[in-house]
Amino acid sequence: MEINPALEAQVGAWAEAQLSPERVTHVRGVVTTAARLAARYAPQETSRVRLAAWIHDVAKDWDDARLLAYAEAQHLPITPTEREVPLLLHGAVSYALAAERFDLDDPLLRDEMAAAGPERAARFSWQRAARETLSVYRSIMQP
């Protein structure tokens, strides 16, 4: 699969048609920022990064039942955490939708978009919140 400006334009127009006006503004900002970062740190990946930025939130506004149903119907891997918080599936579902619509087959893009939700969730565990809260309390209590 070759990612070229014509494909990006098609994907961008499709993504915008799927999104709320507020989400379109966000995604356009992500595309711009991601492209700048890629140009600086991974210029050979700029096209792929821009494509991912267009796709990443296509299913973000779907409700939990719809995300789970689509993921199950497409046989996407679903972790226990994603079953508990289906919003974490939105990246994987967004890629699957784009892959189906545009015949995309990019394992790196697919895997990175699928991993983004669980990776973000791991940063916000109850255990971590408790540790950080306890640390603040201890710092306040020390003379």
Nearest to 125 by CA among 85, 76, 65, 71: 85
pLDDT at 121: 60
pLDDT tens string 71-122? 999 999 998 888 998 999 999 999 999 999 999 999 988 888 888 766 666 6
pLDDT more than 90, % of the chain: 67
* This model's pTM is above 0.75: yes
Please report how the helices 21-41 and 5-18 are oriented relative to each other, as an axis angle in degrees rounded to 10.
150
